[in-house]
Chains A and B, each alone.
Chain A
Amino acid sequence: MVMAAPVSIESVAARLATVHDPEIPTVSIVDLGLVHDISVAGDRIAVELLPTFVACPALEVIRSSVADALVVLGRPVDVAFTFAVPWTTERLTDAGRAGLRRAGIAPPAEPADVRCPFCGSAQIAMDSAFGPALCRSLFYCRGCRQPFEAFKPI
């Protein structure tokens, strides 16, 4: 019988970096700050994730994407969501913030500090704190005259 090679935390993390937010394909769940804990015990891999919003409807999609991404490691995988610490926008990495801008979404900031993701203008106005997803607000840029979304600071 051939023993499977040991699985390192790093190899799990590297696979997780390939999983993207289902609605924001330019940002990985690692850069979004969703990964709370990775553990490898015995022959099982366990991943704990933090929901951005409690009612986020993308959670089940993310859970199955994570499980799919780890299949190549050849171990049973447990993916769980936890509220052990609250997900906050400070958890976004710089790469995550850049990825949001590439998707046309302003990174989270207090309304006065939001900049247009398209032209960088500060001449912006919030149309509504509530946007097309729980995590986003609606803004309008007077510089390039385009509506845009901003990630809610939370």
Chain B
Amino acid sequence: MTDDGAFQPLAMDFDGAGDGRERALALLLLSMADDEFVIGFSDSEWTGIGPILEEDVAISSLAQDELGHAQALYRLLADTVPDGRDADAWAYDRPPEGYLHARLLDHPRGDWAATIARRYLYDTADSARLGALAESSHRPLAELLAKIRREERYHLMHVETWLERLAEAGGESRRRLVAALDAMAADAGTVLAPLPGETALVRHGIVAEPFAAIEARWRSGVAATFARLGLPELPPTVAPDRARTDHSDVFRALHAEFTMVRRSEVGATW
């Protein structure tokens, strides 16, 4: 994929584009923040209706963590893009087509099996991504991720337990899990699809290696888990060059929901 193309309509014109470092960094931060924000908001809809009380608390905690991570990443983005937008403006003041989350997260939270399938695929991919950013030359990002990775450890433990539970339970649990994985498997790799400007990210030491290498490592880990649980293999990503654009009606509905309060009283402090 070239460094320009599908993302150009997002017109992230700002000072400091320089040799591409700032723009590539901004796209990386925005894609990560949007991923965390969208899955965090979507999973937060389980609060109050989780399948059991402990799980209601757990999924709410996971969602709260992700929203906090998104806020911290939007703040780093606001420091990188000097156009006056703060974290809330980045989170709430864009039209749906301006969001750069992975297409995996355009899938609805669905039933509990779909939520677990989506979260398993996302958390494992995100973990691989965070690993490749741990030694990032962008110091504020490396510092933040040192903290975030400690929290995500709990997310992985939790979702891996649930994946095994649903897969090994047989019957309806397994049937629903397999159906959910089948519906989103072709989009699973979108979290790690190449980003425009990733050559600049690698050149500047912001990310340790190209996303293709991160994705390959993630796929082999997931393949081992799926083989052990007798789950179908993940197919390759469909249309990786549009992995973070062309969002679904499911996302447009979610966007209308999460921007509702912000739109109801422009400029208010909540």
Which residues of chain B in 136-179 are interfacial with respect to chain A, using CB atoms and an 8 Å cutoff? 140, 143-144, 146-148, 150-151, 154, 157-158
User: Most A CB atoms within 10 A — which of B69, B72, B144, B150?
Assistant: B150
Which residues of chain A in 129-154 are interfacial with respect to chain B, using CB atoms and an 8 Å cutoff? 129-132, 134, 138, 152, 154
* Interface residue count on the A side (C-beta < 8 Å): 23
Q: Using Cβ atoms and an 8 Å threshold, which residues of chain B touch A134?
A: 61, 64-65, 151
A94 contacts chain B at the CB level, 8 A cutoff: no
Closest to A50 in B: B147
Give the CA-CA distance A62 to B58 in the complex, in Å: 25
A54 touching B58, Cβ below 8 Å: no
Give the CA-CA distance A73 to B157 in the complex, in Å: 46
The distance from the CB of A128 to the nearest CB of chain B, in whole angstroms, is 4
Q: Using Cβ atoms and an 8 Å threshold, which residues of chain A touch B151?
A: 53-54, 134, 154
B195 contacts chain A at the CB level, 8 A cutoff: no
A88 contacts chain B at the CB level, 8 A cutoff: yes
Give the CA-CA distance A114 to B11 in the complex, in Å: 53
Q: Using Cβ atoms and an 8 Å threshold, which residues of chain A touch B143?
A: 82-86
Task: With A54-B151, A83-B144 as known contacts, state yes or no: A129 contacts B65, CB within 8 Å.
Answer: no
B147 touching A55, Cβ below 8 Å: no
Task: With A53-B68, A55-B67 as known contacts, state yes or no: A130 contacts B147, CB within 8 Å.
Answer: no
Closest to A133 in B: B61
A131 touching B57, Cβ below 8 Å: yes
B190 contacts chain A at the CB level, 8 A cutoff: no
B64 touching A55, Cβ below 8 Å: yes
Give the CA-CA distance A57 to B61 in the complex, in Å: 12
Q: How many A-B residue pairs have CB under 8 A?
A: 66
Give the CA-CA distance A125 to B61 in the complex, in Å: 20
B154 touching A53, Cβ below 8 Å: no
Task: With A130-B61, A134-B64 as known contacts, state yes or no: A55 contacts B158, CB within 8 Å.
Answer: no
Q: Using Cβ atoms and an 8 Å threshold, which residues of chain A touch B54?
A: 127-128, 130, 138
Residue of B71, B144, B146 near A55 (CB, 8 A) is: B71
Q: Using Cβ atoms and an 8 Å threshold, which residues of chain B touch A127?
A: 54
Residue of A54, A88, A132 near B68 (CB, 8 A) is: A54
Residue of B65, B144, B147 near A87 (CB, 8 A) is: B147
A56 contacts chain B at the CB level, 8 A cutoff: yes
Give the CA-CA distance A130 to B66 in the complex, in Å: 14
Jot down 5 A-B pairs with beta carbons below 8 A, ordered by A.
Answer: A54-B147, A54-B151, A83-B147, A86-B146, A86-B147
Given contacts A55-B68, A85-B143, 5 further A-B contacts (CB under 8 A): A54-B147, A54-B151, A55-B65, A86-B143, A130-B62
Residues of A within 8 A of B (CB): 51, 53-57, 82-88, 127-132, 134, 138, 152, 154
Minimum-distance CB pairs A-B, first 10: A55-B68, A130-B58, A128-B54, A130-B61, A86-B147, A54-B68, A83-B143, A86-B146, A83-B144, A154-B150
